[in-house]
Amino acid sequence: AQSVTQPDIHITVSEGASLELRCNYSYGATPYLFWYVQSPGQGLQLLLKYFSGDTLVQGIKGFEAEFKRSQSSFNLRKPSVHWSDAAEYFCAAPMNRDDKIIFGKGTRLHILP
């Protein structure tokens, strides 16, 4: 069965440090892949998306993600985090490119001053 896995439930980093959030997927063909961010009390906002082509995609708020087919991964990165990046992050992929999306369980990011 298709799945999207985020192995880390919580991640804590210091402000100014680099960040990498992990996402693994199981899917037969080349997937579409997404990262969303959810600040407390808010809806989900699309950070970036991968469809095809260049495996390194740039998103909003200074985030990027790299698609690695050999590792079935789509990890989210940011070179220097800001306190405002504290939020929950969700990786997602459509089911067989049909009508529905599978979401990972989310990774909550905490920022130390």
Residues in the site for another protein, rule: CB under 8 A?
32, 34, 36, 42-46, 49, 51, 90, 92, 94, 97, 99-101, 103-106
Q: Compute the least distance from the CB of residue 62 to another protein, in Å.
A: 19
Encoded tokens for 112: 């130390």
Q: Which residue number, 14 or 45, has a Cβ lying nearer to another protein?
A: 45
Note the helical H segments in 14-102.
Answer: none
Sign of the alpha-carbon torsion through 96, 100, 105, 107: positive
Instruction: Tell me the CA distances in angstroms from 59 to 44, 56, 63, one per residue in order.
Output: 15, 10, 5
Least separation in angstroms between CB 10 and another protein: 13
- For another protein, the closer CB: 13 or 48: 48
User: Which of 18, 42 has the CB closer to another protein?
Assistant: 42
Distant-in-sequence, close-in-space partners of 8: CB < 8 Å, separation ≥ 6: 21, 22, 107
Write down the least CB distance from residue 77 to another protein, Å. Answer: 20
Which residue lies nearer to another protein by CB, 91 or 111? 91
Residue 15 is given by DSSP the state T
